[in-house]
């Protein structure tokens, strides 16, 4: 499956002063696959070692004696029976968090064997909490997120739909295109962006009821695996707290959607006695570092820099994958396809838009909350602050956006909705359909 991160990998491979690469990301987002496929395309040979699967064999290489790169390469070559060519080959150290000192070894590859292309991959769950020294400044890091909607279209061979989005220049969209793209988006809402889940969907895509049933079964299994990882990397007591915070994310955001609460509420998430941010800060930060939860700070007075007027204890949390969100809250796939799941559609749309923005690198984002209004996302591009209001349906009066415009006078404003693309040139308000996030924002803002 083609991934947008391939461009960044290629830039890394061609750098004259190349550092070892660490590809971060939550489990199951496709790190191993993309590194292997990239290596096959751009290097003479790929030498792949799974440090978790081969832990019994490989541990001593990194834990006994020095971390001399030549010694490590000689031993890895002996184990695999293949010579590692320093000038032309790619060495992949997968699940590197399984042997923490292997992470430290990347420093010495940088210092003493810069000619060899070394790419490591690992779950943020382990890398973020490894006890060994982290090679700060000696490596290059990239983060792989779940497949976004554009990548989903490519991965499911929806070539016509992808080409339509790729070539879109702000034209009027006929109903037939709009309806088809929205139908595909709803399928993506069910599968999410985890490659293994999308592959499972493809096995029975001609029989949607069976395909969606299999997708949900796999998603539930993956959620169990994430729960097991909590215990593996955080210890028994902490893992229970982390799991409860993780499981609270869908219900917390639904309270924000129906105005029961304006931010994440700490009371009773874990148990009686845990009532403040300080009580939950460690589990929340753990999940954010692991890449399983996306945190968006709340700002009452958006300014540049965008995080200048945010508070540590005022934020919203989102799930990292829209498909797992549906599995966690047990929304039947057929209900999603009918687009009839009440106010929770708003949460789905908001979570989806945030995932898309982050997957394209727009990470400087806050939520604006006025006295009676809320703008889901305000993000910073250069010296501009750009408000984005998200609506799941087609009834989009955008009262909050009008309140923001009246107060702050942005150069451009955006609505992401269930409607077709359109522009109010007088008010400089763009309406983007939810499925068009690959083209958001317009070129004049992208090029800042």
User: What pLDDT digit, counting tens, does each position of 131-179 carry?
Assistant: 556 777 889 999 999 999 999 999 999 999 999 999 999 888 899 999 9
Q: Compute φ and ψ for 381, nearest 5 degrees.
A: -130, 110
Whether 228 contacts 250, CB under 8 Å: no
Q: Compute φ and ψ for 161, nearest 5 degrees.
A: -65, -45
Tokens 């729960």 locate to 227
pLDDT surpasses 80 at 348: yes
Q: Compute φ and ψ for 192, nearest 5 degrees.
A: 70, -165
Give the pLDDT band (50/70/90) at residue 220: very high
pLDDT for the residue numbered 117: 97
Q: What is the CATH number of domain 6-143?
A: 3.40.50.300
Cross-sheet strand order for the sheet of 429-433: 310-319, 293-299, 365-369, 374-381, 384-390, 413-417, 429-433, 422-424
Q: Which residues pair with 310 in a beta bridge?
A: 299
Distance CA 249, CA 327 (A): 13
Residues in the chain: 448
pLDDT digits (tens, 9 = 90+) for 119-134: 999 876 555 555 556 7
Whether 403 contacts 424, CB under 8 Å: no
pLDDT surpasses 90 at 63: yes
Distance CA 178, CA 433 (A): 9
Q: What is the pTM of this model?
A: 0.91
pLDDT digits (tens, 9 = 90+) for 230-265: 877 666 558 888 888 898 888 876 665 545 556 767
Q: Compute φ and ψ for 14, nearest 5 degrees.
A: -90, -5
pLDDT for the residue numbered 446: 63
Q: Which residue has the higher pLDDT, 18 or 134?
A: 18
Least Cα distance to 354 among 342, 367, 337, 344 occurs for 367
Q: Determine which helix (DSSP H) or strand (DSSP E) holds 214, and give its type and residue range.
A: helix 208-234
pLDDT for the residue numbered 251: 81
Q: 189-203, 302-316, 410-424: which range is least confident on average? A: 302-316
pLDDT for the residue numbered 78: 97
Tokens 């300080």 locate to 278
Distance CA 321, CA 146 (A): 7
Whether 151 contacts 4, CB under 8 Å: yes
Query: Which pair of tokens denotes residue 3?
Result: 């991934």
pLDDT surpasses 90 at 73: yes
| Domain ranges (residues) in the chain | 6-143, 149-446
Q: Which residues pair with 49 in a beta bridge?
A: 93
């Amino acid at each position: 499956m083609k991934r947008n991160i391939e461009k960044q990998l290629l830039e890394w491979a061609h750098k004259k002063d190349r550092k070892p690469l660490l590809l971060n990301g939550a489990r199951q987002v496709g790190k191993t696959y993309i590194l292997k496929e990239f290596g096959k395309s751009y290097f003479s040979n790929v030498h792949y070692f799974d440090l978790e699967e081969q832990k019994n064999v490989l541990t001593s290489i990194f834990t006994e004696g020095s971390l001399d790169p030549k010694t490590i390469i000689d031993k890895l070559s002996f184990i695999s029976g293949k010579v590692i060519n320093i000038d032309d080959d790619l060495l992949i150290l997968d699940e590197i968090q399984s042997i923490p000192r292997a992470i430290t070894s990347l420093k010495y590859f940088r210092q003493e064997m810069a000619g060899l292309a070394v790419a490591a991959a690992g779950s943020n769950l382990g890398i973020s909490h490894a006890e060994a020294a982290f090679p700060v400044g000696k490596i290059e890091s990239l983060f792989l997120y779940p497949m976004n909607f554009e990548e989903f279209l490519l991965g499911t061979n929806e070539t016509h739909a992808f080409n339509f989005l790729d070539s879109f220049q702000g034209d009027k969209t006929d109903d037939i295109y709009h309806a088809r793209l929205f139908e595909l988006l709803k399928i993506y809402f069910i599968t999410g962006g985890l490659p293994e889940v999308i592959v499972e969907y493809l096995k029975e895509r001609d029989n949607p009821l069976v395909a969606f049933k299999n997708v949900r079964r796999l998603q539930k299994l993956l959620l169990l695996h994430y729960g097991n990882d909590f215990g593996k990397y955080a210890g028994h007591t902490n893992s229970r707290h982390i799991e409860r915070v993780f499981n609270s994310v869908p219900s917390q955001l639904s309270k924000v959607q129906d105005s029961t609460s304006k931010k994440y509420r700490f009371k009773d998430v874990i148990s009686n006695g845990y009532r403040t941010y300080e009580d939950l800060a460690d589990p929340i930060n753990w999940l954010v570092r692991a890449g399983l939860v996306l945190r968006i700070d709340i700002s009452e007075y958006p300014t540049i820099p965008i995080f200048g007027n945010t508070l540590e204890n005022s934020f919203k949390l989102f799930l990292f994958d829209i498909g797992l969100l549906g599995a966690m809250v047990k929304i039947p796939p057929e209900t999603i396809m009918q687009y009839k799941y009440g106010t929770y559609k708003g949460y789905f749309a908001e979570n989806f838009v945030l995932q898309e923005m982050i997957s394209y690198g727009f990470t400087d984002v806050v939520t604006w909350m006025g006295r009676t209004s809320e703008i889901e996302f305000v993000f910073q591009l250069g010296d501009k602050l750009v408000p984005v209001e998200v609506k799941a349906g087609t009834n989009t009066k955008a009262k909050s956006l009008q309140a923001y415009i009246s107060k702050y006078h942005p150069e451009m404003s955006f609505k992401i909705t269930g409607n077709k693309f359109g522009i109010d040139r007088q008010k400089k308000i763009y309406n983007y359909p939810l499925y068009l996030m690959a083209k958001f924002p317009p070129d004049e803002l992208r090029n800042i």
